[in-house]
Amino acid sequence: MEHFIESDYLRRISLKREHIPSFNRFPFNLPSIQTLDKLSFHPNVTYFVGDNGMGKSTLLEAIAVAAGFNPEGGSFNFNFSTYDSHSELDNYIRLVKGVIKPSDGFFLRAETFYNVASNIEEMDREFGGGPPVIDSFGGVSLHQQSHGESFWATFMNRFRGNGLYIMDEPEAALSPLRQLSMLARIHELVQQNSQFIIATHSPIIMSYPNAAIIEFTEDGAKETSLEETGHYQMMKQFFEDRERILHHLLND
């Protein structure tokens, strides 16, 4: 899978396998890492999909850190740390960047979004005098909104275009309707020279046309289509034959 255009911000990653201390310990024992050689990114949208425990979020975090983001999320200038829990994987991947640097960027992850919101409030308390940081997130404290609404406000207001945007399981904070709206906003940002790398379980979010979908399984990573992903097939089977599936689940 090779996609090269001038506005690629991230082109591919490779694993420095020769430097791995041991494939028997975390994170190198994860299926997505044990079989990893290199992965190329689509210039517009790349999805990481797969079951829990495959390592897609760990790999996504390593890519974000290697690209210059804070492990807990935020833009390139966020450097807070509430706890040091990210893996050492970023030290063992080689990131190939494009010839143009993004003028904007954000690492948005549902798991640690509360910490990002807290850091924004702290920055506005400590560094007065200029425009409040929260203004670029919609102007309303992210802690004074529901988790889903604050997540949505960040996505809609802070993502400005010409940027590299990495998102980890955004569906965790969004209703199906919001997920559909997210696709429309992703399309607007792609048309504004943006690149997305998204780890998701949601068939809605992974349905952006012509995107690269990389599915992680026990056998490693492979590029696939939406209809061939395990998530899509499971949801399709459930809605087409819900009663039979529920009968087996609840009566066996």
- Total-model pTM: 0.88
Report the range of poorest mean pLDDT among 125-129, 190-194, 217-221, 247-251.
Answer: 125-129
Arithmetic mean of pLDDT, 155-183: 92
Task: Please tell me the predicted confidence (pLDDT) of residue 78.
Answer: 73
pLDDT band at 1 (very low <50, low <70, confident <90, very high): very low
Tell me the C-alpha to C-alpha distance, in Å, between residue 15 and each of 47, 59, 140, 166, 199.
19, 10, 41, 19, 19
pLDDT digits (tens, 9 = 90+) for 39-85: 999 999 999 999 998 989 999 999 999 999 988 878 787 776 655 66
Per the prediction, the chain carries an average pLDDT of 86
Beta bridge partners of 216: 50, 221
pLDDT band at 122 (very low <50, low <70, confident <90, very high): confident
Distance of CA 111 to the CA centre of its chain: 11
Task: Please tell me the predicted confidence (pLDDT) of residue 2.
Answer: 45
Q: What is the DSSP string of 122-187?
A: HHHHHSTTS--GGGGGTSS-GGGS-HHHHHHHHHHHH--SSEEEEEE-GGGG--HHHHHHHHHHHH
Arithmetic mean of pLDDT, 10-35: 92
Arithmetic mean of pLDDT, 118-139: 68
Residue 11 has pLDDT above 80, yes or no: yes
Domains of the chain: 10-225 (3.40.50)
pLDDT digits (tens, 9 = 90+) for 178-225: 999 999 999 999 999 999 999 999 999 999 999 999 999 988 899 999
Report the range of poorest mean pLDDT among 124-138, 146-160, 167-181, 238-252.
Answer: 124-138
